[in-house]
Amino acid sequence: MSYTETIGSRTYRFADLKTLMAKASPQRSGDQLAGVAAASEEERVAAKMALAEVPLRTFLNEALIPYESDEVTRLIIDDHSPQAFAEISHLTVGDFRNWLLSTTTNADALARIAAGLTPEMVAAVSKLMRNQDLIAAARKRPVITRFRNTVGLPGHMSVRLQPNHPTDDVKGIAASMLDGLMYGCGDAMIGINPASDNLAAITRLLVMVDEFRQRYQVPTQSCVLTHVTNTIAAIEKGAPVDLVFQSIAGTEKANAGFGISLSLLQEAYEAGLSLKRGTVGNNLMYFETGQGSALSADAHFGVDQQTCEVRAYAVARKFNPFLVNTVVGFIGPEYLYDGKQITRAGLEDHFCGKLLGVPMGCDICYTNHAEADQDDMDNLLTLLGVAGINFIMGIPGADDVMLNYQSTSFHDALYVRDVLGLRRAPEFEEWLESMQIADARGALLSASTQQPLLEGVRDWMGIE
């Protein structure tokens, strides 16, 4: 089906829904690289106007990537709930935007329709929204998950403590981990990106973090971000695996590039569940995504990069994840050129994930060859805090010495919690108070008060 829109004396024609969606996207370098972006701002406006008139039902009948050739499309269509969709089935994309922003649409309403939404519907409506619209609508939709603590409660924001090391040195990782905990970070999880995929090294890191967690009764969860097949192997060998990690994308071909399929993710999910390590819940999958991953794998099929990204959230939703992290500026300026594009992408991803019922966090980050700096990250951090982000990253000095990119620091988490009045996961806050790291209000105590714990942990870990 083709679409047309006239502006003045000029009529724009869009060959199909896929083309219309791409042309309606805000400007970004990845879509320009793929050759799917609007040729002018006027064409972009025309596409937005035409998209606003598309009935939401259309997305159930016009697949952007064919059902027969893509298992992610099959997942989206087969898992769609007509009952949940019924409440909004009469709306166009433009009407849906108005419905989302209405003062009468609340968290209960958004939760009620979530299973009736497809990623394409959500991506489409986001293309009609200003940044403030993305913030206002996402803020209405908390998504709460539980493993050893509770993440995503309104008024709360958690932090993934990321103590990476370029050689996987256990003492180096332990030192960064302790540093983060002293700043009250780590309630989302303690998550290590290993420099090696060696199973023995991965297991050594898992054991170290788990021994620390048990010794000090820390109500958090750990994860070593290795390929899901390594995690399955680690589980089979009896390693203390909490969260199961995998990078995912929005098309079958892109996922194949990651070496995964939906059936493999199901196997990993079941392996994690079999351990029964959660204490307050059993959400245990941790997924990472990023706009541009399908394009970088030549697996986008002419679909714009933001819509491909939102399709990845349908994959995540299937496995009841504990955390989903859009690593927003990590892939580079070829896909998100500057701070403005990174900011827009972060707000889009958070909004779209929350609307689908996914527990969204964001690695607010950039690479050193992007037209961005830490001020851009401060801006996005603040906006996502207002929008109700579930978690952010906590990295020593905001500079990851293993992955070589810039993110957010332990101090950044303190800033955004302070200015927005955000709390940590309640179980973790109780632990911080009991260990004399923070007071009952969540404020950090003085270094002298923290010193006994600090010295005890240093002695146990053998840190100088």
CA 134 to chain centre: 15
Q: What is the pLDDT of residue 452?
A: 65
Question: Per-residue pLDDT for 451 more than 70?
Answer: no
Q: Mean per-residue pLDDT for 28-38?
A: 97
Question: Per-residue pLDDT for 459 more than 80?
Answer: no
Q: What is the pLDDT of residue 1?
A: 84
CA 440 to chain centre: 29
Q: What is the pLDDT of residue 447?
A: 74
Q: Which residue has the higher pLDDT, 376 or 448?
A: 376
pLDDT band at 410 (very low <50, low <70, confident <90, very high): very high
Bridge partners (DSSP) listed for residue 244: 285
Q: Say if CB 82 and CB 113 are below 8 A apart.
A: no
Q: What is the pLDDT of residue 118?
A: 98
Locus of tokens 């952007």:
64
Token code pair at residue 335: 């896909």
Cα angle 211, 215, 217 (rounded to 5 degrees) comes to 110
Q: What is the pLDDT of residue 463?
A: 62
Q: Mean per-residue pLDDT for 126-145?
A: 98
Share of the chain above pLDDT 90, in %: 94
Token code pair at residue 418: 């302070």
Q: Say if CB 259 and CB 307 are below 8 A apart.
A: no
Token code pair at residue 186: 């780590």
Question: Per-residue pLDDT for 165 more than 80?
Answer: yes
Question: Per-residue pLDDT for 319 more than 90?
Answer: yes
Share of the chain above pLDDT 70, in %: 98
Contacts with 113 (C-beta within 8 Å, 6 or more apart), sequence order: 84, 85, 87, 88
Q: Mean per-residue pLDDT for 93-106?
A: 98
Question: Per-residue pLDDT for 464 more than 70?
Answer: no
Q: What is the pLDDT of residue 446?
A: 82
> What are residue 360's phi and psi, to 5 degrees?
-85, 130
Q: Mean per-residue pLDDT for 188-195?
A: 97
Token code pair at residue 319: 């496995």
Token code pair at residue 245: 């990690």
Pairing type for strands 3-7 and 10-14 reads antiparallel
Q: Mean per-residue pLDDT for 163-182?
A: 93
Closest CA to 341 of 371, 296, 361, 369: 371
The 3-state secondary structure of the chain, one letter per residue: CCEEEEECCEEEEECCHHHHHHHHCCCCHHHHHHCCCCCCHHHHHHHHHHHHCCECCHHHHCCCCCHHHCHHHHHHHHCCCHHHHHHHCCCEHHHHHHHHHCCCCCHHHHHHHHHHCCHHHHHHHHCCCCHHHHHHHHHCCCCCEECCCEECCCCECEEEECCCCCCCCHHHHHHHHHHHHHCCCCCCEEEECCCCCCHHHHHHHHHHHHHHHHHHCCCCCEEECCCHHHHHHHHHCCCCCCCEEEECCCCHHHHHHCCCCHHHHHHHHHHHHHHCCCCCCCCCEEEEECCCHHHHCCCCCCCCHHHHHHHHHHHHHCCCCCEEEEECCCCCCCCCCEHHHHHHHHHHHHHHHHHCCCCEEEECCECCCCECCHHHHHHHHHHHHHHCCCEEEECHHHEECCCCEECCCHHHHHHHHHHHCCECCHHHHHHHHHCCCECCCCCECCHHHHHHHHHHHHHHHCCC
Question: Per-residue pLDDT for 195 more than 70?
Answer: yes
Contacts with 234 (C-beta within 8 Å, 6 or more apart), sequence order: 199, 202, 203, 206, 226, 241
Q: Mean per-residue pLDDT for 50-68?
A: 98
Between the alpha carbon of residue 449 and those of residues 444, 452, 454, 463, the distances in Å are 10, 7, 10, 20
CA distance 265 to 312: 13
